[in-house]
A and B are shown apart, each in its own frame.
Chain A
Amino acid sequence: MSEPTAAPIAPSRPGTLRLGVLSWQVPLRAGAVSLVGLLLLAVLVAVDLSHGDFQIPLSEVVSTLLGGGDTGQRFIVLHLRLPQTLVAVLVGLALGLAGAMTQTFARNPLASPDILGVNQGAAVGAVAVIVMTGSTGNDGGLPSGLLQQVGVPMAAFGGGLGSAVLLYALSWRRGIDGQRLILIGIGLSFVLTALTSYLLVHARIQDAVSAQVWLNGSLNARGWDQAWPLIWTLLALVPLALLLAHPLNAQQLGDDPARGLGVRLQTTELLTLLTAVGLAAVAVAAVGPLSFVALVVPQIALRLVGGSRPPMVASMVWGACLVVTSDVVTRVLLTSVPAGLVTSAVGAPYLIWLLLRSNRRIST
């Protein structure tokens, strides 16, 4: 969907890897962009770990990570901060990949889980659990115990998946059309947002406050309970996504050409959507609806790498960079602001720009 001017960098010729009957094209430019992203991510993670109520110099952070540091530093870095930073990284990986896949599938840069109603569906599920079970006297925080560890994430996951199934069913007219998918997704988002508001209005004030904390998308006090489901989901779905890349390259050409090339279109598209929704729903379940990461990052990665669809691996790495950055911002600069607001502040102007651009193209 990018205009010729929007992708000024011609992608370099891919390398070729051949080993007996095995053969792949190696996208060198995407690899380089991912590598740069990884280096940046390492720096960001170190910065993130060094900041907090108690500042630890960067050099100490690195030596602690490598096995040095004193007991206090080890406790703060490895036990208090590392789990939250790890969740930020994992959420970024998941959201970046989820966005790349939905945008590829719909052949449209607007198609991301937050626009299509997946995040909103997850929100309905999570808020329903928070509101209906009631806060157990933890001062407007999240529900505690088993409910927090299992109930809210499962409800969010179920809500996200449910809304995606509904979206797919409503959009199906002898095939899935990207434009129709997005329009129906936007409509669905409104309905789901209204449902969340309804739940909040009828909630006790304490529960409403807890729900609001979750809804803002916060990385605060996230740890291993959130990390593990993310790790398992990524381990299962990233390989699937990479396998889908090959049929998706053909799917990009349009429904008829893709089927002419032997792509099992319905299977490919359904698996792509499920993978993306699974990733997005688990991410949202962990930290709340971090808006715009899945929308913005794949398009930035596409502009860095060039080509005809958002690159998967680069989108993951740069997604992690964005989420960790917003964690750093909330730790260092704006200590009372949830990370979701930071990603929105970056993402919303981008969305407006994207809409303006597509408007301009329609009018020309």
Chain B
Amino acid sequence: MTTNPTQGTRLRAESVTVGYGEEPIVRNLTLAIPDGRVTTIVGPNGCGKSTLLRTMARLLTPTSGSVLLDGGPMHDLATKEVARRLALLPQSPVAPDGLLVRDLVARGRHPHQRWFSQWSRHDEEVVTAALTMTDTAHLGERPLEKLSGGQRQRAWIAMTLAQDTDLVLLDEPTTYLDLAHQIEVLDLVTRLNRERQRTIVMVLHDLNLAARYSDLIVAMKDGTIAATGAPAEVFTPRLLDDTFGLSADVVPDPRTGLPLVIPISHRSSGLPDARSHVSHS
């Protein structure tokens, strides 16, 4: 737990309903994102967590309700104005071949630039700082397709960092990465939060990583919020069963004391303990 205890909130969803077609995916959802914290949205596939994140980044328009940014409806703001206050890293983005890391990161300055001011000294400083912070400065002259998955994701995060916004939204930043690189990326996210006081909202699949790296967990099911709270409050066997249909033991992580979710496989359902969990549901 990091910064100011007086919980401000610059970004909030008010009774948001949103969907792609007729059927709403997120229903009447209200959520306040605490400033200066790491908030992670978890939930089973299709629960609407990415849809919620995309709506809060103004990529989708709610059919009813609204997303408030700094107290005003976000959808009344110009696209560029939103991009100066809030950065989004979409799920598994693909850069065009031949794009160099430094050029990708420089694109992060786009919302701050005009046609007559496309590369100010300030732009250059912010980009250099973003490269340094993400440890990608030495990769600057390399094309993205030549990098490893972890390096590439760090470069994309450097781009959102160059956007220089207090709010950073990350949609499954660890997808397709091996475990070591997942840790590397999430450690970087933590540093953005701790050292740069960025408010982070992310969607994660891995519950243990969510527990490890988040101040606040938002568990979603069927387009609504099933539970919010600190990892230890949210990750209980009961909630995991209700929300994910997952029977699991939750034990304290021996190193951090944070909850550790240990799924119980149906193949080991011969164990009496597992059977007792299944019978609860």
Contact = CB atoms under 8 A, between A and B. Distances in A.
A259 B79 contact: yes
A1 B96 contact: yes
B80 interface: yes
Interface in B109-166: 110-111, 113, 115-121, 123-124, 141, 143, 145-146, 159-160, 163
Interface of A: 1-4, 7, 10-11, 13, 16, 18, 21-25, 107, 174, 243, 246-247, 249-250, 252-254, 256-257, 259-264, 302, 306-309
Given A263-B110, A308-B95, 5 more contacts: A10-B141, A21-B116, A22-B116, A259-B79, A260-B59
A21 B117 contact: yes
A264 B96 contact: no
B90 interface: yes
Q: Which of A24, A243, A257 has the most CB of B within 10 A?
A: A257
Contact of B118 (A25, A107, A253, A306): A25
Interface residues of B, number: 47
Contact of A7 (B87, B97, B120, B121): B97
B82 interface: yes
Nearest to B95: A253
Contacts of A252: 95-96, 99
B88 interface: yes
Contacts of A261: 83, 107-108, 110-111, 163
B115 A243 contact: yes
A197 B80 CA distance: 48
Interface of B: 20, 54, 57-59, 78-84, 87-90, 93-100, 103-104, 107-108, 110-111, 113, 115-121, 123-124, 141, 143, 145-146, 159-160, 163
Nearest to A174: B20
A4 B79 CA distance: 34
A180 to B, nearest CB: 16
A264 B79 contact: yes
B79 A253 contact: no
A256 B93 contact: yes
Contacts of A1: 96-97
Which 5 A-B pairs have CB atoms at the shortest separation, nearest pair first? A262-B83, A262-B80, A260-B88, A262-B111, A256-B90
Contacts of B146: 4
A107 B96 CA distance: 8
Nearest to B57: A260
A23 B117 contact: yes
